[in-house]
Amino acid sequence: MYKRSYSFLHKNSLLYNYQFGFRKYHSTALALVELTDSLYSHLDNHETIIGMYFDLKKAFDTVDHEILLTKLYNYGVRGPINDWFRDYLTNRKQFVAIGESVSGDTLWCAPRLCLEAFTVFDLC
């Protein structure tokens, strides 16, 4: 699913050029090179630089799944593939088991590891 989704997004130029995570030839090291180059360029032009940094490690937890699915649909991800994403994002449950003790089911609303690999988070 990852290869097909990524291929579709790449072929249709739907990925942001400065999306460095989870993309071939777009490492975090390249992100730092791009940032450094941009900073030096602005300094060379005697421009003021202001930096704002955000911790986005939980950002996917705030994504509205309906908005994400609508955007995928609008970008051309339709039919069974869109249904697959909808099914993946809907009513997922998790529990914790330690030895003989098992927690109750909890609705899992942010299956972030798998979806980050699909790079769909960048579409939001």
| pTM greater than 0.75 (yes/no) | no
pLDDT digits 0-9 by tens, 12-59: 888 788 877 777 788 888 889 999 999 999 999 999 999 888 776 666
pLDDT digits 0-9 by tens, 52-110: 887 766 666 677 888 888 988 998 889 998 898 888 888 767 677 788 887 776 655 54
CB 37 within 8 A of CB 45: no
3 state DSSP class of 31:
helix
Q: Give the whole-angstrom CA distance, residue 106 versus residue 98.
A: 16
